[in-house]
Amino acid sequence: MDSTFDLIVFDWDGTLMDSTAHIAASIQAACADLGLPVPDRSAASHVIGLGLNDAMQHVCPGLAPERYQDMTDAYRRHYLSGDATIELFAGVMEGLAELQQHGVLLAVATGKSRKGLDRVLAESGLSAVFHATRTADECYSKPHPAMLLELTDELGVEPRRTLMVGDTTHDLLMARNAGTHKVGVSYGAHPVDALKECQPMALFDDFRSFLQWLKPQIG
């Protein structure tokens, strides 16, 4: 295919699904349950996109290792209590369908667990849309390049013909480390100024704007 990008890799939370606020609130509630200092919204949002254990270590730096499991269990309990109410961002379902019609390869690289990603893919009806996926319990956590490099290897696409789309600096730094192209979305977990420091090709305020930018570059 004569195009700039043959593979588009998406982050999930805060990029395709409007889950940032619920994740941050679940982290805060889990800290409260364990009698730990409750991080503010910015600090709780900053760790979104990391693997769960890495996220908890960052947000609760004083937590003893033997209590990590208690923290992750408390987080999962709060997250799952409202999981069914979370929706995809406007334009995502239609946009992914349009990309399918163009024949471009689609993938997901997420801080979710395999079990968590498979659940939301099934609930959202997107299980068949993506050609490959990677989760934080299968790879090194972002911003390590493993997720992207494994996806490009599996799908037979060179990193230079791959685009990473994410809402956090973790996503954009992973792309830089993997040698892929990268764009950011401003409606997720990390502030625009932080995303700009990672020098993405572009930043978008909504998914439809991203799609309009992308179309000329996929044939």
pLDDT digits (tens, 9 = 90+) for 93-126: 999 999 998 889 999 999 999 999 999 999 999 9
Could you say which of 11, 70, 73, 167 is catalytic?
11
The fold for domain 20-85 equals DNA polymerase; domain 1 (1.10.150)
**Which amino acid is it at 149?**
L
* Residues of each domain in the chain carrying CATH 1.10.150: 20-85
Specify the domain boundaries for CATH 3.40.50.1000 within the chain. 7-18+88-217
Model confidence at 81, pLDDT cuts 50, 70, 90, reads: confident
Four-point Cα dihedral 66, 113, 124, 90, nearest 10: 80
Q: Which of 13, 118, 153, 193 is catalytic?
A: 13
pLDDT over threshold 60, residue 3: no
Is 13 known to be catalytic?
Answer: yes
CA dihedral 27, 37, 69, 28 (to 10 degrees): -10
pLDDT at 210 > cutoff 60: yes
Q: What is the mean pLDDT of the chain?
A: 92
In the prediction, which pLDDT does 49 show?
A: 83
pLDDT at residue 219 tops 70:
no
Q: Does residue 168 contact residue 11 with C-beta atoms inside 8 Å? A: yes
Predicted local distance difference test score (pLDDT) of residue 200: 97
Q: Is the dihedral of CA 41, 86, 141, 214 positive or negative?
A: negative
Whether the per-residue pLDDT at 1 is higher than 70: the answer is no
Lowest mean pLDDT segment, chosen from 30-39, 150-159, 161-170, 174-183: 30-39
Class of domain 7-18+88-217: alpha beta
pTM of the entire predicted model = 0.90
pLDDT over threshold 50, residue 129:
yes
